[in-house]
Amino acid sequence: MQKIKIKRFDKKLPLPEYKTAGAVGFDLMARETTNIKPGMVGYIPLNIAVETPKDHILLIAARGSTHKQGLMPVHGIGIGDPDFRGDEDEYKFPAFNFTKDTVVIKRGTRIAQGIFIKFTKAKWQEVNKMKNKTRGGFGSTGER
């Protein structure tokens, strides 16, 4: 485990935590109650700013149960760059309300999860032809 600096904007809410010994994602919760009208996007503040290690990203994704609340992440997943680490750089979860009713996310609701992932930056080497055989095109492994 690596120590990572974190700032909570509301210290009355707990630090993010891994809920089981085998969990790779830590739960993130709403800092304040957020109302999201039908067909609209709301930005749910997640109560944290972090100093993500320089060779990592902080991937933010919906929890498995988030869709049960009538919400889905606008961008599929969020990628927190290692230079998004300022004192006021609070992570938010942009969520789309796909229901016909206003969705209320109450303060303290676990709404997203975070995972630190190591990355490699590419230095491009352009070629005119790839040496490997073609697999059959995008989506070639079948429909199922």
CATH number of the domain that 99 lies in? 2.70.40.10
Q: Report the candidate in 14, 34, 51, 36 with the shortest Cα–Cα distance to residue 106.
A: 34
Q: Is 84 domain-assigned?
A: yes
Q: Is 56 domain-assigned?
A: yes
Report pTM: 0.86
Residue 130 scores a pLDDT above 90 = no
Residue 136 scores a pLDDT above 70 = no
Question: What range defines the domain where residue 59 resides?
Answer: 25-118
> Which residue has 């739960």 as its token pair?
27
> Which residue has 């120590």 as its token pair?
3
CA distance linking residue 48 with residue 91, whole number of Å = 6
Q: Report the candidate in 13, 3, 25 with the shortest Cα–Cα distance to residue 90.
A: 13
> What confidence tier does 103 reach under pLDDT thresholds 50, 70, 90?
very high
Q: Is 37 domain-assigned?
A: yes
Residue 55 scores a pLDDT above 90 = yes
Number of domains in the chain: 1
**Residue 137 has what pLDDT?**
65
Question: Which residues fall within 8 angstroms of residue 17, CB to CB, at 6 or more apart?
Answer: 26, 27
Residue 134 scores a pLDDT above 80 = no
Q: Is 68 helix (H, G, I), strand (E, B) or coil?
A: helix
Q: Is 7 domain-assigned?
A: no
